[in-house]
Amino acid sequence: MSALATTSPLLGVYRPPSPVLVSGHGTRVVDSGGREYLDFTSGIAVNALGHGHPTVVEAARSALATGLLHTSNLFRTEPAAALAEWLVDRSFGDRVFFCNSGAEAVEGALKFARRWATTVGGPERNGIVAFKGGFHGRTMGALSATDRPAYQAPFAPLVSRVQIVDPGDPHAVARAIGPETAAVIVEPIQAEGGVHEMGADFLAGLRELCDDAGAALVFDEVQTGLGRTGLLWGHEWSGVAPDLMALAKPLAGGLPMGAVVLAEHIADAIQPGDHASTFGGGPFVATVALAVCEKIGSAEILENVRRADAWLRERCAGLVERGRIVEARGRGLLWGLELGRPAAPVVDAARARGLLVCTAGQEVLRLLPPLNTSLAELEEGVALLEEVL
Ligand code: PLP
C-alpha cells in the first residue's frame, strides 16, 4: 500500500488531493501512476532550473563526495564563503547570513534591522512597517508582517510594533514611517498577494522616507530574487537599492536554503551571538547554491527569462482580448492571471489536462515556470490553459 494512503501521518496543513509525484526531468514531473505533467509551479518558484538539471545534480554529487555535509557554525567552510562572495559581488550588499528558508531569511532581516536601528537610534526605534497584500512567511516575526488576518488570528498575540499599511495610500505610508521605525519591509512584486508590482516610484519613495526617518529598507526577494523577473534581483528594475534583502526559494536549486544580504552599515551593528542557525550555509547546500547561482546569473538564463516575458506579455494580452481572463500582471516568469472567478477549480482542471499551475489569492492563477523553460513549452502550457479557461 502507498505510504501516502489516507492514513498518512503527514500533518494536514495542505489541501488534498494532489498527485503523488515520484520523479522529474526538466519542466516535467511524473506521478505515481506514470502520468506526466508540465510543471509551471517550479515548487513555488524554487526549481528555477527545472527538475534534475545537470548543474544541480553534478554540484550535489561533488559536494557529497567531500563527505562534509554539515559542520555547524562552529567552523568555516569554503563553499559558504564563495557563495557569500558571489552574492555580494552581484548586489548592493557587503555581508551575508545564511539560513534555511524564506521565513527565516525575513526573520533574520527584521532582527538585523532592529538591532541596527536601536543601536544607532535608541531603544524606541523598533517599529516595523509592512504592506497590505504582502506575504513574508509563517514564523512569528514574518507572520506579523504578513497581511493575512486568517493566517495570523489563530496564533495571536504576534510580534508587537508591526504596522501594516496600504501601499496605495501615500499619506498613510508617509505617516507610518517615522523616527520610531526600524524597518520597512516590502516585496518588489507582491507574489502570494496576487502578483502586484510595487513600482519604481513607490520603491524610490520608500527609500527616501527610510533615509529621512533613519529606518532600514528591507526587500523581501524570496520569490522575486535570483532571476525570476529577468534581472538577477527584482529590485533592479526600479534602480532602488535596499539596506537588507531576504533570499531563499531558488537559492540552492531545491535544497532548503535562505540568505540575508546586508549593507555594511547594518552589518556593523551586529555582534557575535546576535543571531545564528545550526544548519545555515552548510557546505552541501552552499556548494549546490553556488552552482545554481552561477547558472541563474548567466546571460543565457536571464535572457531566456526576458524573452519569455515578452512572449507571455503578448500571449496573455490575447487571453484578455478574447475574454478568457480579466487581466494579466507580472514580469519575467512570475505572472498572475486575474480570472474574475475562483482560481482553484481552474488549477484542478489544468492538472487534469497535464499542466501544473498554482494560485495567488482566490481569483488569481499564478504561473511560475522554471527559468529555462523554452518558448515551445510556454506555448504548450498556455495553450492547455486557454483550453481550460
Ligand atoms: N517571502 C516571500 C516573498 C514568499 O513568497 C515566501 C513564500 O512563499 C516567503 C517569504 C516564505 O518562504 P518560506 O516558505 O521558504 O518560509
Per-residue pLDDT tens digits of the chain, which is 389 residues long? 455 655 688 888 887 667 899 999 999 999 999 999 999 999 999 999 999 999 999 999 999 999 999 999 999 999 999 999 999 999 999 999 999 999 999 999 999 999 999 999 999 999 999 999 999 999 999 999 999 999 999 999 999 999 999 999 999 999 999 999 999 999 999 999 999 999 999 999 999 999 999 999 999 999 999 999 999 999 999 999 999 999 999 999 999 999 999 999 999 999 999 999 999 999 999 999 999 999 999 999 999 999 999 999 999 999 999 999 999 999 999 999 999 999 999 999 999 999 999 999 999 999 999 999 999 999 999 999 999 99
Cell readout for 49 is 532550473
Please tell me the predicted confidence (pLDDT) of residue 153.
Answer: 96
Index of the ligand 1 atom closest to the CA of residue 134: 3
Index of the ligand 1 atom closest to the CA of residue 139: 16
Please tell me the predicted confidence (pLDDT) of residue 1.
Answer: 42
Please tell me the predicted confidence (pLDDT) of residue 3.
Answer: 56
Please tell me the predicted confidence (pLDDT) of residue 90.
Answer: 98
Ligand 1 pocket mutation, candidates 136, 189, 226, criterion most atoms within 8 A of CB: 136
Percent of the chain at pLDDT exceeding 70 = 98
How would you class 59 by CB atoms within 10 Å of its CB: exposed for 0-12, middle for 13-18, buried for 19 or more?
Answer: buried
Ligand 1, atom 10, lies closest to the CA of: 136
Index of the ligand 1 atom closest to the CA of residue 101: 15
Please tell me the predicted confidence (pLDDT) of residue 17.
Answer: 67
Ligand 1 center–CA 258 separation, angstroms: 10
Ligand 1 center–CA 273 separation, angstroms: 25
Residue spans of beta strands (DSSP E) within 171-300: 181-186, 189-190, 196-197, 216-220, 244-247, 258-262
Name the CA radius of gyration of the chain, rounded: 21
Please tell me the predicted confidence (pLDDT) of residue 2.
Answer: 54
Ligand 1 pocket mutation, candidates 41, 42, 47, 223, criterion most atoms within 8 A of CB: 223
Closest to 22 (Cα-Cα) out of 38, 6, 35, 10: 35
Ligand 1, atom 5, lies closest to the CA of: 223
Q: Give the tens place of pLDDT for each residue, 355-369.
A: 999 999 999 999 999
Ligand 1 pocket mutation, candidates 135, 147, 221, criterion most atoms within 8 A of CB: 135
Provide residues with CB under 6 Å of ligand 1.
44, 101-103, 106, 135-137, 187, 191-192, 220, 222-223, 248
Closest to 104 (Cα-Cα) out of 265, 279, 254: 279
Strand order across the 258-262 sheet: 95-99, 258-262, 244-247, 216-220, 181-186, 127-131, 162-165
Ligand 1 center–CA 105 separation, angstroms: 9
Please tell me the predicted confidence (pLDDT) of residue 115.
Answer: 98
Ligand 1 center–CA 174 separation, angstroms: 26
Please tell me the predicted confidence (pLDDT) of residue 9.
Answer: 86
Index of the ligand 1 atom closest to the CA of residue 249: 15
- The kind and range of the H/E element at 165 are strand 162-165
Ligand 1, atom 15, lies closest to the CA of: 102
Ligand 1 center–CA 366 separation, angstroms: 15
pTM to 2 decimal places:
0.97
Index of the ligand 1 atom closest to the CA of residue 142: 10
Instruction: Write down the residue that cell numbers 526549481 correspond to.
Output: 47
